[in-house]
Structure 1
């Protein structure tokens, strides 16, 4: 990402904070490079186990030019796909957790390396999100691929 894209992404992300200016100020000075931001305002996050999330992301990357932002935790055990606000409340799926209205997530500063949670696909600053229907289809395809490789 370029510096201006990083700034646009930061502005887009901190816009959901109760005090965006204070959030940005703290975030830029936080040695861990992370902020706690509320989900459910502009976006929700669907959290998949890493073993399903990575093949799902591979499929999404083949289907669209650029999916919405995607996070990975520090052990690659979980991945968070940014989807439109309200998706988590309507999502029905085994093994998928939703972070929506009333929840908060740890978000790394775009363009800065952190020792923990990191961007696999950083926000672009324009509000691009992953379409939940496309994410569901990609998850089904990824699960089918996993089943084929684990069946004897």
Structure 2
């Protein structure tokens, strides 16, 4: 799974082969990759994003990132989602932005996978993600 996920992620790079070689040769834990080519990213505060993972069905979840302190959770979604997304407290990364992406099989400082890419190309469904965000937000306000 690690190698397949790595190859899938590298396809977003301007030079995928060079990206794969560098990632595999150097063992670097992190790479800077462009959003908006293969996926966009929707980031939410960690206290909201972690419950969303519990709500989403494990079989339909796509890749999910978090920062080292768990302050932010980023969901990889289909290209174009960032440009259309409207939501309070949601940061988007789409065409023209770059994000730090961890190696799918290695621990790294700063960013890690909560749900690593499996190489299939499966992404988080924006409709299901929005519903899960609403449900998680409602649960937080019920406390």
Deviation readout 1:74-119 (Å, 9 max, x if unpaired): 1100010000000000000000011000001100001111122000
8 Å Cα contact 1:32-1:115 kept in structure 2? no
Instruction: Please state how far the C-alpha of 1:30 moved relative to its aligned partner.
Output: 4.3
8 Å Cα contact 2:39-2:76 kept in structure 1? yes
Deviation readout 1:43-90 (Å, 9 max, x if unpaired): 100000101100111101xx3514000000011000100000000000
Which residues of structure 2 form unaligned runs of 5+?
none
Q: Which has more radius of gyration?
A: 1
CA distance in 2, matches of 1:30, 1:53: 32
- TM-score w.r.t. the length of structure 1 is 0.90
Instruction: Please state how far the C-alpha of 1:25 moved relative to its aligned partner.
Output: 2.1
1:8 to 4, 28, 48: 4
Partner in structure 1 of residue 40 of structure 2: 44
CA distance in 2, matches of 1:144, 1:136: 12
Matched, 1:120 2:114: yes
Which residues of structure 1 form unaligned runs of 5+?
none
Runs of 4+ in 1 over 6 A off after TM superposition: none
8 Å Cα contact 1:70-1:121 kept in structure 2? yes
CA distance in 1, matches of 2:74, 2:55: 15
2:126 to 120, 132, 147: 132
